[in-house]
Amino acid sequence: MKRAIQRAASEWIEGLRIALSSLAGNQLRSFLTTLGIVIGVMTVIAIVAIIQGLNQSFASQIGNLGAHTLYVDKWKWINTGEDWWTMRNRKNLGRTELEAIEREAVEALAVAPMAGRPVTVAAGDEELSGIRCTGTNERYLQTGGGNVAAGRFLGPSDVDLARSVVVLGADVADRLFPGVPWERVLGKRVRVRGAPFTVIGVLARRGRMLGMDLDTNVTIPFTTFLRDMGGKRSITIAVTSAPGRLPALEDELVGIIRRARRVPPEKADDFSLNRQDQFLKLYDQLTGALYGVAVGVGLITLVVGGIGIMNIMLVSVTERTREIGVRRALGARKRTILMQFLIESSVVAAMGGAVGTGLGLGVAVLVALVSPLAAAVTPGAVALGLGFSATVGLLFGIWPAWRAANLDPVEALRYE
């Protein structure tokens, strides 16, 4: 057994030496042979890296909504034109539903109302228009509303007393008070829709979500919002559960809200429960087919490269027919010849795969630097490039290797 293992190992080593020697002796041909594999692997790796980066970026953006948060709303986040007319005629959500949830929801860890509208925010001579103003309570941050970078967030007394205090988004603070550290912004007065407010905090920078800038906003107490900006608009209620308890919370909320809105048993819900995975499912549906087509194009290129390897290996078998005959006459077995040519085709493909993987990752990073597209360089992508290219070389090298191993030794020795 030990002797057989040693012999197999020596055959592998000798096959690899002969393969590398053959490639070194025909450098231009080896380069042209690997070119198809390089292009194919580069295409696949670049596509996979960009799509993985987009997936991670989208998941990160959706994470701003809160992984364990449900949003009770009059509207569905994702709806058809027919749904729109049905939802338009629904009753607005207001304090009745909010108080029922706060009173009865056992599964809820945090409940935060959210009412919003675009406003003008000013300080001194600086004036910003189209700023999103959100009215909420002290539990807003627990439902996925970000973190405070300076000062504090709204407190229960701010909401109970309807105080004129405001928490600024990062971009709003920078644009209203350019060059001023956020700690020195605290206590300053700003005008929200013309009314004076005192700055009590600045939110940490959050970036963008689905094309919406999350840093160009201001947050005020929910009661202040209803007093100053109208209390008849429908609100959204964010409700957070413990990890793994979101389905139980959803079931609980349906019963609570139906009772609060006096929905008869035979009637459908006249409200919507929205959650972040709705966006993820839609994203997967929209990008799944595109992902398959893009990777398919890259795989077709790889197959073309594999055909090039097969062609060159067949030429190599013809050129080395006499050498094969001599080796067979000296006692080389069929499997030794077979292994030699399989190793050679796999080495050619693996070299192309290594170069293609490096170029593909470089292309993905370059695209990420010069465009809004993201890219993620993962070990899985590298393993995919190297492994798939070697497999292509192995598969397309089987026929040339089989032909070489089955040459008649006598005819091979007579070949000129």
Residue with tokens 């290594």: 354
Indicate whether 172 pLDDT > 80.
yes
Indicate whether 137 pLDDT > 90.
yes
Q: Name beta bridge partners: 132.
A: 118, 217
Other beta carbons within 10 Å of 209: 16
Position 22 scores a pLDDT of 66
pLDDT tens figures, 271-327: 888 887 766 676 777 677 777 777 777 777 777 777 877 877 777 777 777 777 777
Position 46 scores a pLDDT of 80
Q: How confident is the model at residue 200 (pLDDT cuts 50, 70, 90)?
A: very high
Position 323 scores a pLDDT of 74
Distance, CA of 221 to CA of 113 (rounded, Å):
10
**Which are the contacts of 118, defined by CB distance < 8 A and separation ≥ 6?**
129, 130, 131, 132, 133
Q: How confident is the model at residue 217 (pLDDT cuts 50, 70, 90)?
A: very high
* Residue ranges covered by each domain of the chain: 2-61+281-414, 68-275
Indicate whether 203 pLDDT > 90.
yes
Indicate whether 257 pLDDT > 80.
yes
> Which of helix, strand or coil describes residue 217?
strand
Indicate whether 40 pLDDT > 90.
no
Indicate whether 152 pLDDT > 80.
yes
Counting residues of the chain whose pLDDT is more than 90, the rounded percentage is 22
Q: How confident is the model at residue 412 (pLDDT cuts 50, 70, 90)?
A: low
Residue 411 structure tokens = 């005819």
Which letter does DSSP use for residue 10 in this model? H
Torsion angles phi and psi, residue 32, rounded to 5: -65, -35
Position 308 scores a pLDDT of 78
Which residue, 189, 182, 184, is CA-closest to 148? 182
> Which of helix, strand or coil describes residue 103?
helix
- 99-108, 165-174, 260-269, 329-338 — which one is most confidently predicted on average? 165-174
Position 280 scores a pLDDT of 67
Q: Which residue has the higher pLDDT, 125 or 80?
A: 125
Distance, CA of 145 to CA of 140 (rounded, Å):
6
Q: What is the residue type of 70?
A: L
Indicate whether 196 pLDDT > 80.
yes
Counting residues of the chain whose pLDDT is more than 70, the rounded percentage is 80
pLDDT tens figures, 330-383: 677 777 777 777 777 777 777 888 888 888 888 877 877 776 666 766 677 677
> Which of helix, strand or coil describes residue 263?
coil
Position 175 scores a pLDDT of 93
pLDDT tens figures, 58-88: 666 666 666 688 888 888 777 666 676 677 7
Return mean pLDDT, the chain.
80
Mean pLDDT of 390-397: 78
Indicate whether 190 pLDDT > 90.
yes
Indicate whether 168 pLDDT > 80.
yes
CA dihedral 59, 63, 64, 66 (to 10 degrees): 150
Distance, CA of 267 to CA of 263 (rounded, Å):
6
- Quote the pTM value: 0.65
Mean pLDDT of 184-211: 88
Q: Which residue has the higher pLDDT, 245 or 318?
A: 245
Position 81 scores a pLDDT of 61
Mean pLDDT of 98-111: 89
Q: What is the residue type of 117?
A: R
Position 33 scores a pLDDT of 72
Q: Which residue has the higher pLDDT, 218 or 22?
A: 218
* Helix or strand holding residue 122 (H, E): strand 110-123
Q: Which residue has the higher pLDDT, 133 or 301?
A: 133
Indicate whether 262 pLDDT > 80.
yes
